[in-house]
Every structure is written in C-alpha cells, then in structure tokens.
Structure 1
C-alpha cells in the first residue's frame, strides 16, 4: 500500500525544533508492514530550504519526505512553528495563507500523479484536509484527515462559508480522526441532528503516539514542562502558582524546556521566583536529561485569547510512559484519554494548579509507585507500535471502500 501524507508542520532534520509526530507516525506505519511505503509532503521553511529534497527518512527508503515552495522565501516562515502562531506574531503573514493553499494544491496534485498513492492522509484540517478533498476527488483517490487542536475551529471566522467548507470536506473524507475528544467536539460543533450523529459514529479518537520508554524515577520535588512558549500552554498560570508551591516545598524546582514568542515575557514573570530554570529548545539528550530529573510533569494548558487550544500534548503521553506524575488542566485534552492516570485541574486557576502540584510532589512513595505503574500500563496502548496497525487498518478500509465504489 502506498500512502501519501500531507502536513504543514514536519521536522526537516533531526534537530529541527518542530514537533515530529507526523514523521514518527509515517515511520511507524512503514515499520508495521514491509509492503507499505509512505511519502510525506510538507511546505518549505527557512530550515528546509537549505537541504536537498526529496530525502529518505528510513534506512530502506520506504519513507521519504518531499518539500514544496509556495511563496517568496522571506514569507515561507508561515508553517515553521504553526500557522496560527505565525499570524499572531506578524499579522501580515495572513497574506501568505492563500499562497500556501495554492502551492499545496499544486504540489499535492503533482505528488498524486507521480506516486499514484492508494490513499491520502491529511494532518490538520486547515489547509491540508481542505486541499486534499479537492485533489483526491479529481484523482479518484480516497482521503481522510486527522484534526489537531483548533485547525477546524479557525473556520468559524468565515461564518456560514466556514461551516459549508467543513461540512463539504468532512462528507468527502473516507475517514476522520481527532487526537482527543476535546478536538473532536470542535469538529462536531459544525454539524447538528442526524449529520452530527452520523459523524460522531465514524469519528475515531486517536492520539499521536509515543515511543516506548523505560521507567524513570525522577526527583519528586522537580517539575518539568516541555512545551513551546506560547499562550495556550498556560506556563504563565504555572508561574503564578509557583510561589505557593515553593512555600509548601522549599526545594521545589521548575525546569522549562522550550522556545517561543512568550519567552521574554515568561522570563520576566519568573525573575522574582525561586527555583525556576529556562533551558530553551531541547531535543535528544538535552530533553532526556530534563525528563530524567523530573518526577512531576505539568501540562497547564489554557484556551488562548484567540481561541487556540491544545489537542493532546505529546509531552503528557511521554510523561506517563516513563512513570512521571502528571498534573494537567482540563483544557489540555488529557481529560479525555488520560483522566484516570493524571491529576486534572481547572484551566487557568493557579491556586488549584498549585495544590495539585504540591500533592503530587509530597505524595507517599508507595502511592507514587502505584500511580506510576498505572500510568505506564496506559501508555503501553499509546505507543506507535500499538497504534500503527489500527491506523493501517483504517487506511486499508478506505482503499477497499473506494475499490468497491469503483
């Protein structure tokens, strides 16, 4: 089976500071079946422009990545760290959105002609699913999409036109998945009555996976956050809660790994606080070093002022895989799949967050061990190895259905 994946955010190389779950999923699909090949198509970024494409992502070259241009190079920063964050940082970047749609449509149509895929998998509704719906229909290829966070909700800004787009694209999709129930609800909100019921019946909740990890017993008085420094991650709420945490646990440490437009603002908030360390963007051994120190992981997500929100941060999944205690907000997506293995607090409420962190940091050793075991057991079903066969089954079902229609 030949799978064509189209996504807006994919790392161009091993140290690229963007999430790699699209690439990890592609590698897991190929690893699960030697008859599967995957081509990943993504827009250029300033980093990718310096590399040669296409490039093999697996030793046997069954996973390859291709890049396409869509705008003058100075504007090809739109997808480097996510479309909405780019527009929030520089409103003029909104002018590049139509160029991205047009460039992606040309590139996807060309890729379909060259690779003759059996199925197209679009990550993010906007713009990938919208573009794929048209290209797939003309080519007679089945397609489906995965919705992450607020990639559908953004179309609310178009009013009735946005609603028509969502309904048309979703009706053409052979399958649809959401990374959390919270994310699924944003898609379902565009439908009502029988249409909503029909979509709910076929909309699968499937988070992005994680790699299996060894158990790590970190310091119970050390809290880690690995996240991009943007509003929806809620790190400002965590810093507001931190004085209460330090008052109860005087040797508490907070390790923040990540970069983003809010770093200067967050560092200013943290300046008078004790025990807070900013480590910048971390990956590989640097990321592992932070994770190994922390017995507690915080995921204090909030709904941003522009409506942006998390789907289900991979950091939460990685934390339960190694047995860390996780304290997450009810805007993180963790309240859907992980409610019984994480501590949930109301989003944006610093006192509640402080209390939950203190409880996790001071829990008796036996209780911590029991909670860690339960978390790791849950994580076993969320590894790429566990999820890949399910995803392949969905993709194969889409190709069989199209064959029957044909």
Structure 2
C-alpha cells in the first residue's frame, strides 16, 4: 500500500511545524517507545526527570517536559547492564547493578507519582494513558543480572519487569550476541538460556531478541510459546550490520505474531566510519570527566564544550530523519502494519539529525500519514501492536498456571 509512496519527500519539517491534522492524530494515539535508556541518568548528581534537559544535547533526550512536548505517553524504562566479567565477582557486580537500576526506576516513579505510573498489563497502559499520566513499563537489556541466580527473574517480575532482552554486545551465560568479536559461544541459546525462555513464558514476560545473534532469534521464535519482539532493531536490507535483521527473519517474526520496533541509532541506519583520532580524543575526554551517566549537571557545560570541539575537529556523517524513515517504511512494507512499532534507543545512542530527542516524535506520525498510512495504522504502530503482544504473553502465562 505505502510502497509507492515510500520515496515521498520528507524534507525538513521541524517538530513544531507538523500540520495540526497530523498533530491531532499523534496526540490521540497512545504513543509508546519500547526502549528508553533514560534510567542511566537517574543516578547523575543533580539530574531530575521533571526538569527540561534540552541544553544537554544527546546526554539527555527524555524528560517529562519533552515527553509532553513530543506527545510521548511512555514506554519501557530499561534496566541496562554492560556485559562484564563472567566470573563470580563479575556476576555479583551485574546482579547488584541490575537491582540498583530497578530501584532507581521505582524511586523515579515514586517521586513523580502525579505524572507517571507503573504499568503491569496492557489494560494498565490504556488506563494510565487516559488519565493523562506517563505509562511506565520496565524492561531488561542483557540478562547478565540474572546469571548468578536465574530465579531472580521471579522477583524482577513481581517488581514490574515485563520485557526481557537476552544479550547485549557480548555473549553471556544465556546466549550469543550478534556483535561479539569472538563469535558464537553457544550456537544460539545456552541451556540456561533455554530455561530462561521457559521462565519468561511462565511469568508472562515478553522476550526481546534485540542484540541477540540470528541463531538466538531463530531459537526464540521456535521455543517461545508467546510472540517475541525486537525492541530496537533496524533493517539489514538498508544497511548490512550484524545488529540489524534481514527481511526473511522480519517475515518470520510477523508470521509468529511478533513486532519489530524500529531503532534510531545512527550507526545502525547508515555506515559511519570510525576516525581513530576522534575515538582517542573521546576516550581521553571520558577519562577526564568519567562516565557520562555519572556526570554531575554542573559539569555538563564544560564537558559538552570539549566534546563539541572534538566533534568539530573530526566531523563524521550523521544519520538523518530521512534515513530513519527509510528503515521504518521498509520494515512496514516487509512485516505489515500489524507487526511494527517504535523503539528509538533514546538515551542509549539513538536520535538522528531532525529527530534529536523525544520532542520531535510528531514528525514520525506526520511522515507515516504522508506515506499513506491511516490513523488506525498509526495507532497500531505507536502502541497497538505492542499491547497485543503483551496481552498474548500474559494470557499464555495465565492459561498454564
């Protein structure tokens, strides 16, 4: 349907220039994003989600003022854990990190109870959205916090976890990553990973194959009793990257009822060659200021001035909104409108020129309408397809209890 319009000119419509008709459609939809890495900011000294952090650039792309400006009704706050050592000490560190990030999400929700609410079901999401609050699901990216004790999944579920990503950029105890330089370790899921799939199904937790190897993806499709998702993944057909997914697998995902949520991480949308001198300068900057997710707000101005000087000295190509829409429209054509959503990887590297933070999200709705998609289609893409998968996963879990 939309393929003939897929090359439609998407030139430079700023978020505040979206036509009123498109803005109405956007505001009437329940707009959810499946991958919000914003909890990485929750422990930053002086950082508060209630404040507008637009001045921080891509250090901070999601906060309450910009969620409201962009009509973002909520989504999945991510418990992300970098893959560290897999010895006893490393597993303990991952366990503690995951629990701390979970606590930080609950603390943020408690501090903003008038504006946000934890969602445990699809019905919760719709009710919270109607009440004018931000829908707050919880997900986990990289199951490393469970490696020392997989039974912790039950505790995470009781505390709100409703989506589980198996791996990140390295292999772990549960399965192979799509990007580990060492290659496959388990040839897909490990025995522990297969058990984790069973437990997720039993609890009604949606399984997420983003970052996982193609073999893990294939095995999840086969083993999971419930549909699975890709919470933030783009199209291999447009840019051949190990982190992206091929059209054949997109069709298989759709045939099993799953949903692919399209990523806005520039390095997965287009080829962006690395400049060694730039990388070295950025590493030195990191050593000087420490991790970005621990950067105190009163040091942001100085940090950004130095970082922008490096970026000006060693400029690189940036992905654009047009690149993002090309991936989204291609995936819609391949999967069908019932199997596509949005997971832009905000505060985790996502964002493109023309869509730098969540305040620009109405541009996606405007571009979808311009490409021939209907208001009903837009509602499916923004949340309807996701909520269907959540309902199916929880119904299957309930039927087996």
TM-score bracket, normalised by the shorter chain, equals 0.3 to 0.5
Structure with bigger RCO (C-alpha 8 Å, 6+ apart): 2
Larger Rg: 1
Greater strand content: 1
- Scaled by the length of structure 1, the TM-score of the pair is 0.37
TM-score by length of 2: 0.37
